[in-house]
Amino acid sequence: MNVILSGPDSCGKTTLADRLVEKYMMDVIHSTATTRNTLEYHLDLLDYHDNTVFDRHCVGEMVFPKLYGREPKITVSEFYKILDRVVENNDIYVLFVCSNPDILKERLIERGETDYLREIEDQCKLYNDVASMMMTYLIGYKNFYICDISLPNAYDRLYNWVDNHMNKKTVNVAYRQVCKDLYEKGHIMETRNIRGGTKELCNYMFTIDDLDSEYVSLVTGKSNLTYLAAEILWYWSSRNDTEFIGKFGPMWKKLSDDGIHANSAYGYILKEKFGFNQIEKIVELLTVDPYSRRAVMNINVPNENVIETKDEPCTVCLDYQIRNGKLHCTCVMRSNDVNFGLRNDLGFFISLQKYIAERLHVPVGTYTHFAMSIHFYDRDTKFVKDVAYGTMESINEILDIKTLIDCKDVLIDWIDNHFTTKEEFKNLLKAYHIIYEKSSIN
């Protein structure tokens, strides 16, 4: 996670930067009038640096050209494109403003920087104008903070806010790190698997603490939102037939032991297989005893055909705990393919956690994923490398999983009785505004 600081002279950027360097061991890059300050320059800073403080950034090109009467090095649309990348990276952006320029004038005099006195009021006005632009464009983005230093206790509130937002991991950030760790640190596993060589890490764990989005949306991640929507609907249908999901993923019939049923139909396992609904039982348990340590949903259970089967469930269990007033989930996997398995599992498991949290009327907390073996096959080497070292640019479509679940009955009926093509299914999802294009981050 990077932290971007912008604001008028003597507003406190350097003091905050020094604090971040000391507390979080961050690097600092200071942009000035002599740096390139183009679109490519700012995107490169965001894409190829991590744990870095950017002291001044793109906002300067919205301010100083107007102040000094020169051509800006980025356009307004390019400025918004940079802000999009900030959001995709889940970086922190702190914009300092000052509604009382006299405060800054006093500081400049104390520092002997009197040359800036004649322009500081104009700086404050221009930064206030940019703040209005950014507030409108970044509405809903929780890592954006405007600090008016003229307000009481402004710096104390800012420092507390920064500490509460530092190093939060989104699904995309976590997934990219998994791929990077596998590519750089994974070891070759000796296997009889006919799919070729496998590179794995054993007993691997990561935690996601920003669950605004449930699924991988990186451009390099190649997420198929149509398939993900169908798989989630299949799970919520409580069925284990391959006829349903086979319309979207033919491999399910190949994995089936009898060509008809799937052993890894998580919805069927959770809601039907054991004669009761595990999801409802967990909701009941945590309602009766919010601090229970028994809220475990079991998926992989003893199987006398474990040697012969082609489809042994990868997920062992899902554990839920309410701590500090939030619902946390830990998923334990015996085995996880980082390309196909992990991407789609995250979408279902996190959306299920949100569903249970909503039923319990508590906020969602963290999602922790533990895999005894997380791996990729030779055929996916380029994919894993592209994710590991690519940018955090996200796809231009959004899948609203909550609305998907709300509309599940009519969509499941359409798949069962009216299915034609996957493209028509996607069109149906668009008609219900379940998949839609993002024109901007808000």
The residues, ordered by sequence, that sit 6+ positions from 136 with a Cβ below 8 Å of its Cβ are 442
Q: Please identify which residue in the block is written with the tokens 């990868």.
A: 314
Element at 316 (helix H, strand E): strand 315-323
314 is catalytic: yes
DSSP 115: G
* Rounded alpha-carbon distances, angstroms, from residue 121 to 11, 98, 100, 148: 12, 9, 9, 14
Catalytic residue among 11, 58, 98, 314: 314
Sheet holding 144-148, edge to edge: 27-30, 52-55, 3-6, 92-97, 144-148
Burial class (CB in 10 A: 0-12, 13-18, 19+), 156: exposed
**What is the 3-class SS of 178-238, one letter each residue?**
HHHHHHHHCEEECCCCCCCCEEEEEEEEEEECCCCCCCCCECCCCCCHHHHHHHHHHHHCC
Number of CB atoms found within 10 A of residue 77's CB: 8
| Inter-helix orientation angle 340-360/278-288, to 10° | 40
Q: Please identify which residue in the block is written with the tokens 């090095």.
A: 73
Rounded CA separation 95/16 (Å)? 12
The catalytic site residues sit at 314
